[in-house]
Amino acid sequence: MEKKVFRSRISLLYVPVFGTLLYFGWFISKVSGNFLGLIIIGVTTVFCIFTFRSMRYVLTEKEIRMYFLWINIGKIFISGIASVERSYNPFGAPATSAKRLRFNFKRGYKWHAYFSNSPFLVTILPSISPVREREFLETLKILNPDIQINVNDKKGWWRFWDWDF
């Protein structure tokens, strides 16, 4: 199998955050009389959107590699995955969406994070948010048939965290 690349889903729930930043920059520019605040906040917002769009996951026969920009930030061995579940926990990393997939590992396996030596980062359960989620899960199941997939895709008007693109 050749490697497959999955871009990360971006949650529309982050749009109010960027809007608030832009409003704050506009307010500072009105109070100070120049556009420096607006320019700084605008550049910050564009940078955040660019970095959110650059999160991706590369699925190979043996592992899932996570990339932020061009930096490899971690890997998960497919043979060590026991189950995959739906998660809305905002503290699992690395994902840029509120709708995520969380991995549970077999005994002795863990998530290998390259960007820190902190034991806390490798003990939390990583969450990812691929755009083509069904295709990602089907490919994962083909690579390791022992993985239990417990992903619920219920829809409803109250599920505002599903507003992703």
Contact 101, 151 (CB under 8 A): yes
| Percentage of the chain lying above the pLDDT 90 cut | 14
Rounded Cα gap, residues 123 and 106, in angstroms? 13
Amino acid code (one letter) for 48: C
Instruction: Write the pLDDT tens digit of every residue in 108-161.
Output: 766 655 544 554 444 456 788 888 888 999 999 999 999 999 887 666 555 555
Contact 62, 78 (CB under 8 A): yes
Enter the pTM of the model.
Answer: 0.73
Rounded Cα gap, residues 162 and 9, in angstroms? 10
Contact 45, 110 (CB under 8 A): no
